[in-house]
Amino acid sequence: MLYSGVMMPATSSAALHAVGAKRKPYTRPLGWGDALVLGLLLTFWLAVMMLSQRTPVVYALDLTEPTLDERFYYIGLHTLEQNEQFVYRWTSDQFTLQLPAGYHMASRYVVTLRAQAGLPAAHPLLFLSNERPLATTVPGGAFRRYQVLLPPAPPRDSELRFGLQTTPRSQAGDERPLGVVVTDVALRGLPERDGAMSFGLPMAFALLWGLARWRGASLLETSVHSGILALALLGLFLYRQPAPLPYPAMAGLSLVAAGVAILSVRETWVRVALGMLATIVSFSGMLWSNWLSDDVFISFRYAQNLVAGNGLVYNPGEYVEGYTNFLYTMLAALLLSVGADPVAWTYRSGVGFALGLLLLTYLLAKRLIGPRWAFVAALLVATSQSLLLHTARGGGLETGLFALLLLLAVAIYVAWLEGGCGFGALGSSLGVVLALATLTRPEGLLLLGITGLHYLIYDMDGDVLRQPWAWMQRKLGALIFVLPYLLLIVPFFLWRYNYYGDLLPNTFYAKTGGGLRAVPRGLAYSWQFAQTMGGPLLLLALLGWLEVGWRSLLRGWRGYFLLLVLIYTAYIITVGGDHFRGERFFVPLVAPLAMLFADGLAQVTRRALRRPTLRWATQILLVIFLTSYSAYALTRTHPIDYIMRGMDESVWIWRELGWWMADHTTPDESIAVLGAGAIAYYGQRTTIDMHGLTDYHIARIEVPEMGSGTAGHEKADPLYVINVRQPTYIPAMWDGYFPDRALLEAHYELITIRTRLGRDVALWRRIPTE
């Protein structure tokens, strides 16, 4: 058995087991002490919850300030102006105040608006709530405060959108469409009693308490554990901000993870620590900016067409595989088929995948390097903003699912490797998990190759050359995990070729072809990720060989992990990385790197602790190092948070354009785009992806200097788009795609359309041919 990097004899392992077995599950009835402490804790929780729920959520927006509240989007609000009397802003004839996830903070709001007509001959002013008319008034020449009670959120829509609509007016020398003059607006959430908050979470705490006591924790240990977790959740409740998930969902997920930790871990301090890390992960979408990738809507579009009976296609009748995440797309189709919203579920699943990675990292690392250093590995995973950015904070893509499947496959293989027994059921399970990983991301095939390579070479010695047939017979055990893999993957590839006419997805052709030109971009991408893991400190991951020789290193889990990290990184460098912030391609390596990092740090620490004079200083420095490292890791995305917010806002702008297509066009009309996700999903019209992810022709054209531009955004064929695909509309925001504007003007006219939320968008509309 391997424990803390040292091979221990069987007697030592048994002794350790005997020590760990002293604490038996608690089976006696709970005593008066349990009832008293638990009652006090629940009473305190209920009191704080009821008091805080009576305190309304208030957003007071001073529109006369140069900088507006960034939590809101302002559509149809003109720039700041001033006359001799006051500072003000004009609205357009349609104004929308948009608060993403606003209805997760309160189910109903009262809006107070200070406004005046601003010009003579005022027109009726219509108040809107999520595009639904509420009330009408005629504003006067003096400022008045108008109060409007907003109805509850529509089904499957947590976004708060308060709007004003009137007849456009203008004044001399000003061509802008003018609505009313406004100075401030306030949104006050009505107090309410939420059963999930007031009673559901306390009951979950009570179950957690009983679970801890049943698992052998003392009354004091359970009190400390529950008290710390309760204070953390109450603090987050008082701090809460609009987030993709409502507070009860985030708190419930963290409590579920804490319960899993209780079932899996004996040490109370580890249970507490894992519970706190799970809380950070669960609430990361509230603590930091959240976002959603437009690319995830490409998968949703395929799923949407499949559920509608059009087949697994992006555009009906076009059999092009513009996705690389078959399993994830099928899960989205399953959600759509039962009437669920895949957008909401992608946030929930992101938190779930991140929590799964956290707990599985700890459990695997505990087996390999012991509980203390396993916690260090879990700490590195929970504070990795690369991982959080593409799981618990949103993103929406299959990254989290693939990373979890990769780590599960690694855990199964290591369990066999360290156990020293035959594959058996482990081999079959490994094959199935590797197949699921391959169906989620093509890199699953790479993981199969790396695992198979390590299996072939991990025990190589001089006998291989002397008795090659004996060595080959020993390696026939690989068939136990290769056969289940082939049984799942070969039929999929046959179906893919029969359905789409290709063995590889269309995205492979759209993103590759740069050869060595992509390597510098991949090296820069890899260095950016290395900096998130400490830069030069990553060398600690290579120090596992200090306690073992190279042969033992190759035979054990360290050799497998190093092989995985090195080959996988070489692959990322070769393909040139990805264009998403947060280095998405490296997310599956965060957990293996964290375990190697913790192992190397353990080796350095043990060497220092051997010197009595350095013992206390080493422990203090270790705590300072881990605290500083984690704090830096959690705050490292602060400089790019505005970029993530901008990317998220772009997705919802494209959603508006999709809505316009659905509302104002016929099914035979089409649109050409550079953002191929939300517009297609919400518009449900033929959509031409001008970068070729979902277009067969563009994906296969030859591009000079391919690999030196932005990954996935290098291929283009303007003449093909205009002359062959002939889209009805092209958003003017993307007319830079066409180097010759005269080509556009020869076939298109420029129009301005108004979206549901009042946003004016310029479009090129194809001129009908006579």
The encoded tokens of residue 754 equal 């108004």
Q: Helices 268-282 & 219-239, crossing angle to 10 degrees?
A: 10
The encoded tokens of residue 689 equal 């992806």
What pLDDT band is residue 551 in, cutting at 50, 70 and 90? low
The pLDDT tens digits for 197-250 are 767 777 888 888 888 888 888 888 888 888 889 889 888 988 889 999 999 999
Question: 282: exposed, middle or buried (C-beta count within 10 Å: 0-12, 13-18, 19+)?
Answer: buried
pLDDT for the residue numbered 608: 83
pLDDT for the residue numbered 748: 95
pLDDT for the residue numbered 552: 67
pLDDT for the residue numbered 413: 92
- Helix residue ranges per DSSP H, 420-575: 425-440, 443-457, 463-466, 468-474, 479-500, 506-511, 518-532, 550-555, 557-575
Is there a domain that residue 398 lies in?
A: no
Is there a domain that residue 695 lies in?
A: yes
Question: What residue has token string 């390597």?
Answer: 519
What pLDDT band is residue 30 in, cutting at 50, 70 and 90? low
* Mean pLDDT on 33-37: 72
Amino acid at residue number 563 = L
pLDDT at 63 over 90: yes
Helix count and strand count (H, E) for the chain: 30, 20
pLDDT at 18 over 50: no
Is there a domain that residue 125 lies in?
A: yes
Question: What residue has token string 């010695």?
Answer: 461
pLDDT for the residue numbered 708: 76
Mapped onto helix, strand or coil, the DSSP state of residue 159 is coil
pLDDT at 39 over 80: no
Q: Which of 272, 287, 302 is the last residue of a domain?
A: 287
Domain identity same for 178 and 200: no
Domain identity same for 170 and 258: no
The number of folded domains in the chain is 3
Is there a domain that residue 26 lies in?
A: no
Calpha distance 437→581 (Å, rounded): 23
pLDDT for the residue numbered 678: 96
What pLDDT band is residue 49 in, cutting at 50, 70 and 90? low
* Mean pLDDT on 47-69: 82
pLDDT at 470 over 70: no
Mean pLDDT of the chain: 87
Calpha distance 88→67 (Å, rounded): 13
pLDDT for the residue numbered 13: 35
Question: What residue has token string 């080493």?
Answer: 618
What pLDDT band is residue 41 in, cutting at 50, 70 and 90? confident
The pLDDT tens digits for 694-744 are 999 999 998 888 877 887 788 999 999 999 999 999 999 999 999 988 989
pLDDT at 545 over 80: no
The pLDDT tens digits for 90-148 are 999 999 999 999 999 999 999 999 999 988 888 999 999 999 999 999 999 899 999 99
Per the CB < 8 A criterion, the answer to whether 161 and 131 are in contact is: yes
Calpha distance 355→279 (Å, rounded): 9
Q: Is the dihedral of CA 492, 495, 497, 500 positive or negative?
A: negative
Per the CB < 8 A criterion, the answer to whether 225 and 216 are in contact is: no
Domain identity same for 228 and 147: no
Domain identity same for 714 and 680: yes
**Residues in CB range of 743: below 8 A, 6 or more apart:** 718, 719, 722
Q: Which of 229, 253, 287 is the last residue of a domain?
A: 287
Is there a domain that residue 452 lies in?
A: no
Other residues' Cβ atoms within 10 Å of the Cβ of residue 81: 12
E strand segments, 83-165: 87-99, 109-116, 125-129, 132-137, 144-150, 160-165
pLDDT at 637 over 90: no
Domain identity same for 94 and 36: no
Per the CB < 8 A criterion, the answer to whether 582 and 637 are in contact is: yes
pLDDT for the residue numbered 16: 31
Rounded to an integer, what is the distance from CA 77 to the centroid of its chain?
Answer: 31
pLDDT at 518 over 50: yes
pLDDT for the residue numbered 588: 97
Is there a domain that residue 282 lies in?
A: yes
Percent of the chain having pLDDT more than 90? 60
Is there a domain that residue 638 lies in?
A: no
pLDDT for the residue numbered 539: 83
Domain identity same for 116 and 184: yes
Domain identity same for 198 and 244: yes
The pLDDT tens digits for 348-382 are 999 999 999 999 999 999 999 999 999 999 999 99
Per the CB < 8 A criterion, the answer to whether 286 and 236 are in contact is: yes
Percent of the chain having pLDDT more than 70? 89
The pLDDT tens digits for 154-211 are 888 999 999 999 999 988 888 899 999 999 999 999 887 766 676 777 788 888 888 8
Say which residue, 177 or 427, is predicted with more confidence.
Answer: 177
* Mean pLDDT on 488-497: 96
Per the CB < 8 A criterion, the answer to whether 574 and 515 are in contact is: no
Domain identity same for 114 and 166: yes
**Residues in CB range of 683: below 8 A, 6 or more apart:** 657, 658, 659, 660, 661, 662, 665, 671
* Mean pLDDT on 31-50: 71
One DSSP character per residue, 230-262 reads HHHHHHHHHH----SS-HHHHHHHHHHHHHHHH
Longest Cα–Cα distance in the chain = 101
Provide the 8-state DSSP code for 29.
P
Domain identity same for 219 and 125: no
For 444, phi then psi, to 5°, come to: -60, -35
pLDDT for the residue numbered 21: 40
Domain identity same for 42 and 102: no
Q: Give per-residue burial for 357-388: e unless 16+ CB within 10 Å, then b.
A: bbbbbbbbbbbbbbbebbbbbbbbbbbbbbbb
Question: 191: exposed, middle or buried (C-beta count within 10 Å: 0-12, 13-18, 19+)?
Answer: middle
E strand segments, 35-124: 58-62, 73-82, 87-99, 109-116
* Mean pLDDT on 522-548: 83
pLDDT for the residue numbered 556: 82
pLDDT at 257 over 80: yes
Question: 119: exposed, middle or buried (C-beta count within 10 Å: 0-12, 13-18, 19+)?
Answer: middle
pLDDT at 474 over 80: no
Domain identity same for 650 and 762: yes
Other residues' Cβ atoms within 10 Å of the Cβ of residue 559: 21
Q: What is the CATH number of the domain that holds 156?
A: 2.60.120.430
Say which residue, 433 or 705, is predicted with more confidence.
Answer: 433
pTM: 0.92
* Mean pLDDT on 313-341: 96
What pLDDT band is residue 15 in, cutting at 50, 70 and 90? very low
Question: What residue has token string 């780590």?
Answer: 407
Mapped onto helix, strand or coil, the DSSP state of residue 447 is helix
Q: Which of 227, 254, 287 is the last residue of a domain?
A: 287
pLDDT for the residue numbered 285: 94
What pLDDT band is residue 422 in, cutting at 50, 70 and 90? low
Domain identity same for 184 and 202: no
| Domain coverage including residue 169 | 59-189
Is there a domain that residue 277 lies in?
A: yes
pLDDT for the residue numbered 22: 43
